[in-house]
Chain A
């Protein structure tokens, strides 16, 4: 039997107060997120060109999208970017965090330096990295000094360009996740390590049997965030390559921008947005289902 909860006048007032405090944020969410998302969902079924009244076209945009080579090219690039950047950021971020958690001398400086790219705007960071990666830029000059006669054309070779953007993303974002891992590591009770040391456990044993199980919730959270962010990549692509050469670095969000603002196909771009949302949702759901097997709460 369900018991109806009765509130005292004081509790009711506090509840109203709580809702009132939430109200401004909720209005912002409604106006700037929920309504645009719902509008975007509707637009996906229209031929809206950004100016003329939209006409309902049913699922035509979705049919066209699944026949569009650019969609598969962008999706392939996004998946490559996701796999490599998430793996790179997670592994390097965790290793750096474990290293800095040892409390070695100068770890504060290291932490600041490694976090620093995160404080820089993506546009400025992308611009600087693009200069470093030019054919006659410092990176290739260094490689030539090492004896490499034909260093990669990082930004203009279709075989290399996604790797360049992915590397840039790893450099930019690793520091942020390192800090999250560090927070997770510092929450592991030290007495567990002391007990393990008394039992004769070495560093590797301590990591695999104590550290890793204890930080899996943090690792899971970071992985979910990092994967979602990887599908939202736009700024680095826009700044470093404009999706080129020959669309070799086009990703889904950049394609949405191109379809909407270059070609004025807002309805079609909205269909891209819906499909992107479905892909991210699917991946996140799979992760949440899979977490039960390896995350320890």
Chain B
């Protein structure tokens, strides 16, 4: 009898623990991002006094400047306070997908650029905030222009809080050491940039810094940081355009030429290094030119001060394709949206409107983060924080010729994946240009026909 009771007790205990596990899992469905960290709130329970708690989902790269933003909001808001959940940026899309599938009541969702903004709207993740904006008398289209209207087709699904503008960083010390002259007052064309890189590479070889001399510490003239669709976006071409192949062919040819003449790190090696490629080559002072976005400025300033980056960097405009206007750089906004699973959409909207306008923008700008909202005060705060010695950055971020990095459409994620697959195939030498372009066209057509 004793044995039977013991067995019953053990079975009940273990069954309860299983149920407990399930409950814990569902409670921390919100914590799917738990690999990351949770911070920024001051309240310890569901509510802090009378305030409503807002749950935020984002990725760790932004934590350093969003936590202060949240603190500032929490200090001034009488209705709500916000707490951040962060995970690694590489995992973020999967975390959001899982959280939405689980019905996690996220109140504010960070949206990492135009493709996910389009994707989340397509899937119905995001609530239409139009009624709240109308009630508040806020005109987002007038405030942000194309970066807002291009991403919000039939309603208000998100407001842009941060901009990333792609530009060209250069290693001032290396160029001076090699005796290379360069221009920053206007954009190079890509052809001019290629010629400049050939000159730099010849000087690198002459200085004994080339790959044959020292494979592990050699320099390249350039490193392509942005590997997706630079010139395609600069020309304003969408990947579903009938004549997109011409622009695709132009960009892949340019990329291939840059690696074929040994001026740039080969694409295959860039694949091996992944997102660390900038750290491996640019931060170590091993390339003269590096395409990256404005988010690098705060990091490079801090690394220069600490000595981790052993050279002085400068900024120049992104080269442009032949026939395009000077100072055509690429911009990619990040958005805050309110998922349909939110239990506090009204308060979430209040936070978003605050964070994406003067109050929040000033806070971001003071931390060298480029806000999407522009005003004299915000631009002044950003210019001061980024500690630039010339006005090139100001000209780049305020250029009227700037274009969006991605022109999205339904099915964009799959088309983009097919595009990258064929680009990889060509640039790694596994297919000819014509084969790769033809494969891309047929895959794209097949995806879009569904």
Contacts and interface: CB of A to CB of B under 8 A. Distances in A.
A247 B419 CA distance: 12
Interface residues of A, number: 36
B4 A17 contact: yes
A136 B216 contact: yes
B428 A157 contact: yes
Contacts of A263: 413-414, 417
A236 to B, nearest CB: 15
Contacts, number: 107
Given A24-B10, A24-B11, A158 B269 contact: no
A24 B12 CA distance: 8
Contacts of B1: 13
> What are the nearest 4 A-B pairs in CB distance?
A24-B14, A246-B425, A156-B268, A20-B7
Contact of A244 (B123, B266, B424): B424
B7 A17 contact: yes
B430 A136 contact: no
Interface string A26-55: 011001000000000000000001111000
B4 A16 contact: yes
Given A31-B18, A52-B123, A262 B425 contact: no
Interface string A243-256: 01111100000000
10 contacts: A13-B3, A13-B4, A21-B7, A130-B272, A135-B272, A157-B268, A245-B268, A245-B424, A246-B422, A262-B93
Contacts of B431: 246
A263 B271 CA distance: 22
Nearest to B124: A52
B242 interface: no
A31 B428 contact: no
B142 interface: no
A128 interface: no
Interface residues of B, number: 41
A51 B96 CA distance: 11
A261 to B, nearest CB: 5
A179 interface: no
Contacts of B424: 244-246
Contacts of A51: 97, 100-101, 123-125
A248 B269 CA distance: 16
B272 A134 contact: yes
B201 to A, nearest CB: 18
B22 interface: yes
A153 interface: yes
A69 B422 CA distance: 14
B226 interface: no
Given A20-B11, A134-B272, A50 B4 contact: no
B101 A21 contact: no
A24 B272 contact: no
A18 B428 CA distance: 60
Interface in B425-450: 425, 428-431, 450
Given A21-B11, A50-B100, A136-B269, A248 B414 contact: no
B8 interface: yes
B257 interface: no
Given A23-B15, A64-B450, 14 more contacts: A13-B1, A13-B4, A20-B8, A23-B11, A31-B22, A50-B97, A50-B101, A50-B123, A52-B124, A130-B272, A156-B269, A157-B428, A246-B430, A262-B94
B344 to A, nearest CB: 20
Nearest to A131: B272
B215 interface: yes
Contacts of B266: 135
Contact of B430 (A31, A134, A155, A158): A158
B423 to A, nearest CB: 8
Interface in A156-201: 156-159
A264 interface: yes
Nearest to A52: B124
Interface in B53-108: 93-94, 97-98, 100-101
Interface string B229-250: 0000000000000000000000
Interface in B1-47: 1, 3-4, 7-8, 10-11, 14-15, 18, 22
Nearest to A68: B446
A160 to B, nearest CB: 10
Contacts of B268: 135, 153, 156-157, 245
A175 B421 CA distance: 35
Given A156-B428, A246-B424, A246-B428, A261 B97 contact: yes
A248 B101 contact: no
A246 B4 contact: no
A245 B425 contact: yes
A130 B430 CA distance: 20
